């Protein structure tokens, strides 16, 4: 008798635990096929150590450098399901889905205490979205202002490095794409994160659902997308010859991103390569041979930190000071001038390179 009682009690608590769990993306994919396919190939689906080897490596290094202080910190955004299921060793499949459907569609509140995890979820039957008239047989739908605006993105694309209790980082605003965007004319015009990263198109959101004029892509293209990178920066090169010298004026304009270029992880870097060629197509001059940072610092767009001892460059989790920030501000036109001997110069060329890591 007492045994039976125990099993009953166990199954009740199991049911309860299931009620507060996130659901697997695959299960949503049965009806939201197209959205699921888009999401599945997005960086959001590859944010955990299991799915993103680069992240795994850097994550491990950060833990070594800080005696494990970053273990729970980094994983908040990269495996946000841990904030609900506490699976910090990343054993469950759902945890390794990274920024999965329910992470966005069960968000109910953003706490305004930046030291804490801002995203507050209510997993379960109610899926939050942007339509006021949608109906589904398996879940309830609810309109959410957070999803209808860029607020939904700010919980993770906001400042990353306020690790409470770590030795430094404290007051540096480092990876705050949301903050970078807020003061721009894009924000003023209502062009939010989604207008560029979740393009609207006409279609069906679910099997059996109506055709809608505006539904939103879920592949979240960013710095890994050549099209997005091409949209972000425009180069304008003017060349003049003056008293045996070539004088190049190069305009570098961040015209397509509503935030810094590069934004996000401090390892991202963009740099200019200018080359002059003779008739045979051989290089007669270039702004750098090996290392753009050392040879042409004005042509490099990045952020550099120093640690508490002043050593630079420092990894972001050990950073205590920003020593240089030459990233391109939204709308900014940076002008660069290059002068060199015009002898044998037949053609000049300027290229912008983007280094992910
Ligand atoms: C990073 C957050 C995020 C993730 C992850 C995400 N969504 Fe969305 N989803 C949104 C936002 C934001 C909108 C509304 C877009 C708008 O208003 O511009 C949306 C819209 C939708 C809609 C309404 C139709 C449409 O396309 O606009 C459905 C259905 C949907 N999502 C299902 C899913 C499913 C299924 C998954 C997982 C495979 C998923 N979402 C993953 C943020 C997300
Ligand atoms: C049995 C099919 C089915 C499954 C499974 C399903 N949905 Fe839906 N969902 C629908 C239908 C149908 C709609 C309404 C479509 C419309 O009106 O455009 C919908 C609408 C939505 C919306 C839009 C809500 C709004 O008001 O804007 C979201 C968000 C959503 N689903 C998320 C999810 C998530 C997340 C999952 C997985 C946990 C999921 N759905 C699983 C059928 C399904
Ligand atoms: C006007 C269009 C536009 C708007 C609005 C916009 N972005 Fe971007 N975003 C871009 C372009 C173009 C790129 C590619 C250039 C780059 O990576 O710097 C990009 C790149 C990114 C990347 C990739 C950066 C990396 O290093 O991996 C992220 C993340 C991102 N945006 C997030 C956001 C967020 C969050 C918002 C809202 C606060 C936002 N974007 C608003 C155009 C936009
Ligand atoms: C729960 C946290 C979370 C939320 C909410 C979130 N993101 Fe992300 N996002 C991430 C993480 C983590 C990555 C990095 C994945 C990786 O590369 O390992 C990422 C990657 C991206 C990228 C690709 C960056 C690249 O390197 O190319 C874009 C673009 C992006 N997010 C846009 C958005 C937009 C737009 C929203 C709001 C609709 C949003 N994100 C909401 C956590 C989040
Ligand atoms: C506040 C949320 C947040 C926290 C905390 C966070 N990240 Fe990220 N991380 C992101 C987002 C969002 C991106 C996507 C790129 C972007 O922001 O431009 C990203 C991208 C990355 C990337 C690049 C992945 C790629 O594929 O290019 C690495 C590496 C990374 N993070 C490492 C870390 C480490 C290590 C920590 C802890 C010290 C950490 N992150 C903490 C949100 C976060």
Is residue 94 in contact with ligand 5, taking CB distance under 6 Å? no
**Bridge partner list, 285:** 276
Gap from CA of 208 to ligand 4 centroid (Å) = 29
Q: Which residue from 44, 106, 151 has its CB within 8 A of the most atoms of ligand 4, so it is best to mutate?
A: 44
**pTM of the model as a whole:** 0.94
* 20's tokens: 């507060």
What are the pLDDT tens digits along the chain (357 aa)? 334 333 333 333 333 344 468 999 999 999 999 999 999 999 999 999 999 999 999 999 999 998 998 888 889 899 999 999 999 999 999 999 999 999 999 999 988 765 668 899 999 999 999 999 999 999 999 999 999 998 999 889 886 555 444 433 445 666 788 888 888 889 888 899 999 999 999 999 999 899 999 999 999 999 999 999 999 999 999 999 999 999 999 999 999 999 999 998 899 999 999 999 999 999 999 999 999 999 999 999 999 999 889 999 999 888 888 899 999 999 999 999 999 999 999 999 999 999 999
| CA-222 nearest atom, ligand 4 | 27
Q: Name the DSSP class of 43.
A: G
pLDDT, residue 117, reads 80
Gap from CA of 43 to ligand 4 centroid (Å) = 7
The Cβ-side half-sphere exposure at 312, using a 13 Å CA radius, reads 10
- Total Cβ atoms within 10 A of residue 225: 14
Domains of the chain in start order, with CATH, are 25-216 (no CATH), 226-355 (2.60.40.3230)
Distance CA 109, CA 116 (A): 13
The answer to whether the Cα torsion of 310, 313, 319, 321 is positive or negative is positive
pLDDT, residue 300, reads 98
| CA-58 nearest atom, ligand 5 | 35
pLDDT, residue 276, reads 98
């Amino acid at each position: 008798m007492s045994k039976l009682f125990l099993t009953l009690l166990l199954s009740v608590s199991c049911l309860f635990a299931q009620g507060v769990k996130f659901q697997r993306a695959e299960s949503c994919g049965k009806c939201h096929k197209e959205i699921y396919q888009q999401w599945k190939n997005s960086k959001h689906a590859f944010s955990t150590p299991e799915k993103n080897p680069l992240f795994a490596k850097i994550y491990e290094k950060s833990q070594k450098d800080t005696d494990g202080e970053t273990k729970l910190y980094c994983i908040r955004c990269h495996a946000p399901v841990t904030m609900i299921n506490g699976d910090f060793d990343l054993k469950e499949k759902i945890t390794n889905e990274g920024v999965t459907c329910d992470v966005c569609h069960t968000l109910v509140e953003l706490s305004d205490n930046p030291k804490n995890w801002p995203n507050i979820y209510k997993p379960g039957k109610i899926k939050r979205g942007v339509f006021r008239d949608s109906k589904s047989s398996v879940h309830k739908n609810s309109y959410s202002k957070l999803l209808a605006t860029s607020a939904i993105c700010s919980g993770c694309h906001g400042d990353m490095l306020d690790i409470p209790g770590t030795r430094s980082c404290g007051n540096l605003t480092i990876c705050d794409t949301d903050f970078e965007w807020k003061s721009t004319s894009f924000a003023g015009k209502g062009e939010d994160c989604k207008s560029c990263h979740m393009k609207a198109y006409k279609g069906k959101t679910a099997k059996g659902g109506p055709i809608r004029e505006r539904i939103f892509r879920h592949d979240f293209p960013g710095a890994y997308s050549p099209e997005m990178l091409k949209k972000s920066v425009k180069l304008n090169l003017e060349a003049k010859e003056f008293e045996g010298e070539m004088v190049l004026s190069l305009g570098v304009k961040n015209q397509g991103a509503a935030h810094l270029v590069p934004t996000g992880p401090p390892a991202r870097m963009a740099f200019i390569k200018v080359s002059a060629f003779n008739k045979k197509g051989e290089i007669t001059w270039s702004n750098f041979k090996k290392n753009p940072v050392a040879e042409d610092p004005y042509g490099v767009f990045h952020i550099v930190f120093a640690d508490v001892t002043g050593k630079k460059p420092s990894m972001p989790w050990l950073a205590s000071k920003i020593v240089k920030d030459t990233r391109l501000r939204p709308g900014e036109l940076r002008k660069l001038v290059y002068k060199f001997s015009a002898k044998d110069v037949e053609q000049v060329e300027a290229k912008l390179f983007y280094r992910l890591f």
